[in-house]
Each structure stands twice: as structure tokens, then as C-alpha cells.
């Protein structure tokens, strides 16, 4: 049915309607904060659709994989020999002890994947376990798309269901705050640098929190102060940090003795996600999951899910390992098979430093291998990606062109899935932060009875 629904949606469009809908959309993007820095967040005229059974498969399989990540996190949290496989920085080791006996390290996370719905092929390529972005954008885009004329016409034939995320976000933040020991209605600081391009989304979330009875502000960590046993932004006393700044950037720029760390050490502020979330936020977490050295940590169901959904991934190092059941010498293997491999820095985001082997020259690939041996990188096997047609209005006419599509389900409390970030791109690296692409709302779909 999604193929039929997409065809129906596209058949409703013509040059005139596409022009009107595009103008209407661009008029609404700016006042609703649907920009990434200076770029419009969405440039196409159709949402992404899932049937209920397709979504249920994505949800249930993701939750099995999450149970395996939870086991991996527990093992790494408890045992230094496991943590060594993640190639942590020294400051990360110092901060993990602050989570001892605390609430779940993740209130929110996001698993990034490619999902080929017709064959139920699902491949997870990254676990955003630290600061998952996009929930505010997705909710605002869903509301905006429902006001566009093509969607209004489409709704005569199909019922669509959004999966609101900010309500779920606030609920898990409050649950984590209560588990931590907080009482009453907390003052919330959404903490990130004042120059990041995602400030528009932070503002969407801040307004949502305020509408639902919370006192919430945006706070640059450089402007925070810790005194009299409380964390402050000016005269605003902070009870909860909804952390969007990356741990690595916070510590590298402000050191370990910054006001946030001081307040957490003293137990005087609740922060989520907590510092130990960085264990699984490393790209090396997927290497940990798929490495034969760690197979004993997982049960049969988790093994099946790991085998089916996590591509072969290894930390780049001089070692022997298994590839499809055969022992290989890892570095020569990487050098020889760039047509099927990707190299990624262990602790970067937004596609920074990623080298796609089949798009690189042999010289660039070999140079990246040298860098990887002297730094912290993973190598990951190529996965099958999906592309679908999306309409837009270009050069005065309707344009329907294929785009790569990913599927990034949101995770709450570390174990359950609700809602999805969907990104489009004309290139293999699907990442808005990297400078291209588009975000679209994600809807569940059902045909209306006629």
C-alpha cells in the first residue's frame, strides 16, 4: 500500500499546486523555527509514510537491539577490560563514577538506520546515545505539513497518524528527575553553545516546555555559575539540565572543573543524558556489539538481532578478526576492500571525518587508514540503502526525483521506541549537519474505507 499511497500523493500534484504548496511551506518554515542555521529544514512536499506493520517491525527489532546495547553498557560500565574496547578518553573514565547508583543514563536516544520496508531489511549504522536531535523539528514539521494543500487532498484517501515526540520527551525527563530524587516542578535549562545551528530546535522545545507548565530557558554552559550549592544562569536557579551540548566539547572547552560537573558531583542538579551515556555513543559501541570477542554477553535473541541488523564493525587496529566466519588480518583487509567499507572517527558527529571507501581514491583511502591507526576510528561494512521519489518545486515546475532515505527511531528510557527522524539526501552521507539534505515528518498510514 505505501507504493500506491505515494503514487496517489504524487498524482494529486501538478506544477500549479506544487508552486502554491512550496510557497506556503517556505512562508511557514521561518516563523516556526524550521531552519537548520540559515538553511530551510525541509525542501520537499511529501512526508515519509509507514504502514502499521512496517513500523511495528522497526519498533520491535530496534527494542531487541536496545536490550543488547543495555547489556553492552552494563558490561563496559562494570569492567575496565570491556571499556578498553571503546577507546575512551581519560576524562570519560573520571566522569563515569558520577553515574553510580543514579537513574538510567539515557532518557532519550536515537538509533540511525536504513530500513528497506518491502524486504524487512534493517541496518543500524550509529547509536546516538548522547544528545539525540530532531524531536522538536519532527513535531513542528508534522503540524505544518497537515496545513499544506497536498496533504489536505491526500487525507480524503488515507488516514495518517503522527507520532508526537515532545510530549514523550517531557514525560521521560520528569520520570528521570523523580528517580533522581527531584521534587516539585523543576526549572529546566536546555544547555548548548549559543552558536550551534540547532538553536531553532532548542527554542521549539523550550516553548513546548513552557506551554506545559515548566520554567525552561536556553543556556550556554559558559554562562553558568555554581555557588551556594546551586547551579545558576543569572538569577535563574537550575534543577534539571536537558543536555544538548556534547560531553567532549564541554570538557575540552571548559575543563573538568566546570560548573556543571561541580553541581553534578555535589548531587545538586539532575542532568540527562548523563555522562555514562558516552559509552554507547561511541562509534566503537557497534564494533563492541559485532565483535566475536563479546559474543558471550548476549542471548540467542540478541545474537540474531545483532547478526541481522548491525553491520560488521571493528575498531581500526593491528589485529586479526573474523569477517563472515573467516579470519582476516584487519589492516590489509581494510586496504584491499575499500569498495565495501566506510571509515568513521570514533567520537565525531554530523558526518565529520567519515570516508566512504567506494567514493574515495586508493590514495585517499590508504591515507585515512594511516590516520585511523594513529587516532580512534572504526571501520564498518557497507549496507544496502534505500531511495524513494519525493516531489519538490524546482525551476518553475514540479520535480519528482529519487532521494536516499534513512530511518532513525527515537528511544526513550533506553529500551522503548516511539517516533522517528527521517532524513533525505541526494548523496550517500545522510546528515543535515554535514551541509545538505532535508528532514521530513514521519506518519503512519492507513487507507480510508470508501
- For residues 213 and 355, membership in a common domain is answered with no
Tell me, what's the pLDDT at 437? 77
Instruction: Please say if the pLDDT value at position 152 is more than 90.
Output: yes
Does residue 62 fall inside a structural domain? yes
Q: What is the pLDDT of residue 435?
A: 40
Supply the pLDDT for residue 434.
Answer: 41
User: Residue 349 maps to which CATH number?
Assistant: 3.30.1490
Per DSSP bridges, beta strands 320-323 and 326-329 are antiparallel
Does 86 lie in the same domain as 45? yes
116 domain residue, yes or no: yes
DSSP H helix total and E strand total for the chain:
16, 25
Q: Is the pLDDT of residue 424 over 50?
A: yes
Residues 325 and 390 in one domain: no
Q: How would residue 31 be classed by pLDDT, with cut points 50, 70 and 90?
A: very high
Question: Does residue 238 sit in the same domain as residue 361?
Answer: no
Statement: residue 1 has pLDDT above 60: no
Residue 295 lies in a domain: no
Whether residue 125 is found in the same domain as residue 183: yes
Domain assignment of residue 332, given as a range: 312-381
Let me know whether 341 and 266 are in one domain: no
pLDDT at 351: 76
Listed residues 325, 346, 381: the one ending a domain: 381
- Cite the DSSP H helix spans in 79-198: 80-83, 90-96, 135-145, 149-154, 166-180
Q: What percentage of the chain exceeds 90 in pLDDT?
A: 87
pLDDT in tens, 206-235: 999 999 999 999 999 999 999 999 999 999
Per the CB < 8 A criterion, the answer to whether 414 and 431 are in contact is: no
pLDDT tops 80 at residue 432: no
The total of structural domains in the chain comes to 2
pLDDT tops 60 at residue 258: yes
Query: Do both 327 and 179 map to the same domain?
Result: no
- Let me know whether 156 and 248 are in one domain: yes
- Mean pLDDT value of segment 261-268: 95
Whether 109 and 22 share a structural domain: yes
Residues 64 and 24 in one domain: yes
The answer to whether residue 393 is domain-embedded is: yes
> Residues 353, 439: one domain?
no
**Stated pTM of the model:** 0.94
Assigned domain for 12 exists:
yes
pLDDT digits (tens, 9 = 90+) for 50-63: 999 999 999 999 99
State percent of the chain over pLDDT 70: 96
- Whether pLDDT at 430 is above 60: no
Q: What is the pLDDT of residues 70-129, one digit of tens each?
A: 999 999 988 999 999 999 998 998 898 787 655 568 899 999 999 999 889 999 999 999
CA distances from 61 to 68, 123, 269, 302, 415 (A): 11, 10, 35, 10, 11
Region 122-137: mean pLDDT is 95
Asked, for residue 294, whether it belongs to a domain, the answer is: no
Q: Give pLDDT, residue 417.
A: 97
pLDDT score at 244: 97
Among 353, 381, 409, the domain-final residue is 381
Same-domain pairing of 397 and 373: no
* Segment 231-249, tens digit of pLDDT: 999 999 999 999 999 999 9
Tell whether 286 is covered by a domain. no
Average pLDDT, the chain: 93
* pLDDT value of residue 119: 87
For 133-153, b/e burial (b = at least 16 CB within 10 A) is: bbbbbbbbbbebbeebebbee
Report yes or no on 289 lying in a domain.
no
pLDDT tens by residue, 300-333: 999 999 999 999 999 999 999 999 999 999 999 9
Amino acid at each position: 500500500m505505501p507504493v500506491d499511497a505515494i503514487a496517489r500523493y504524487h498524482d494529486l500534484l501538478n506544477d500549479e499546486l506544487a508552486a502554491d504548496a512550496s510557497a506556503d511551506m517556505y512562508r511557514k518554515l521561518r516563523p516556526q523555527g524550521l531552519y537548520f542555521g540559515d538553511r530551510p529544514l525541509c525542501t520537499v512536499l511529501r512526508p515519509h509514510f509507514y504502514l502499521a506493520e512496517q513500523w511495528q517491525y522497526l519498533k520491535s527489532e530496534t527494542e531487541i537491539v536496545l536490550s543488547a546495547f543495555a547489556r553492552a553498557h552494563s558490561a563496559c560500565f562494570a569492567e575496565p577490560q570491556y571499556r578498553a574496547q571503546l577507546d575512551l578518553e581519560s576524562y570519560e573514565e573520571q566522569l563515569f563514577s558520577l553515574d553510580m547508583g543514579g537513574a538510567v543514563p539515557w532518557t532519550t536516544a536515537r538509533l540511525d538506520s536504513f530500513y528497506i520496508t518491502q524486504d524487512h531489511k534493517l541496518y543500524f549504522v550509529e547509536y546516538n546515545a548522547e544528545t539525540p536531535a530532531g524531536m522538536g523539528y519532527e513535531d513542528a514539521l508534522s503540524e505544518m505539513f497537515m496545513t499544506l494543500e497536498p496533504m489536505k487532498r491526500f487525507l480524503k484517501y488515507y488516514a495518517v497518524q503522527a507520532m508526537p515526540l515532545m510530549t514523550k520527551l517531557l514525560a521521560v525527563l520528569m520520570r528521570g528527575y523523580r528517580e533522581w530524587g527531584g521534587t516539585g516542578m523543576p526549572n529546566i535549562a536546555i544547555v548548548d553553545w549559543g552558536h550551534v545551528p540547532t538553536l531553532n530546535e532548542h527554542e521549539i522545545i523550550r516553548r513546548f516546555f513552557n506551554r506545559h507548565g515548566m520554567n525552561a530557558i536556553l543556556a550556554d554552559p559558559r554562562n553558568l555559575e555554581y555557588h551556594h550549592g546551586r547551579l545558576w544562569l543569572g538569577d535563574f536557579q537550575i534543577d534539571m539540565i536537558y543536555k544538548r551540548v556534547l560531553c567532549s566539547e564541554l570538557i575540552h572547552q571548559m575543563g573538568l572543573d566546570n560548573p556543571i560537573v561541580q553541581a553534578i558531583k555535589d548531587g545538586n542538579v539532575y542532568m540527562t543524558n548523563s555522562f555514562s551515556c558516552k559509552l554507547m555513543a561511541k562509534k566503537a559501541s557497534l564494533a563492541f556489539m559485532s565483535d566475536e570477542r563479546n559474543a558471550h554477553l548476549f542471548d540467542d535473541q540478541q545474537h540474531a538481532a545483532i547478526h541481522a541488523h548491525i553491520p560488521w564493525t571493528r575498531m581500526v587496529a593491528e589485529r586479526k578478526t573474523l569477517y563472515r566466519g573467516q579470519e582476516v588480518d584487519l589492516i590489509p583487509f581494510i586496504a584491499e576492500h575499500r569498495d565495501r567499507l566506510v571509515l568513521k572517527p570514533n567520537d565525531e558527529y554530523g558526518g565529520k571525518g567519515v570516508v566512504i571507501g567506494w567514493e574515495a581514491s586508493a590514495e585517499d583511502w590508504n591515507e585515512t587508514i594511516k590516520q585511523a591507526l594513529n587516532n580512534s576510528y572504526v571501520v564498518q561494512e557497507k549496507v544496502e540503502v534505500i531511495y524513494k521519489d519525493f516531489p519538490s518545486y524546482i525551476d518553475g515546475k514540479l520535480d519528482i526525483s529519487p532521494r536516499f532515505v534513512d530511518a532513525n527511531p527515537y528511544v526513550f528510557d533506553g529500551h522503548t521506541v516511539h517516533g522517528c527522524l527521517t532524513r533525505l539526501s541526494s548523496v550517500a552521507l545522510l546528515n543535515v549537519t554535514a551541509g545538505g539534505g532535508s528532514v521530513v515528518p514521519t506518519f503512519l498510514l492507513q487507507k480510508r474505507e470508501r
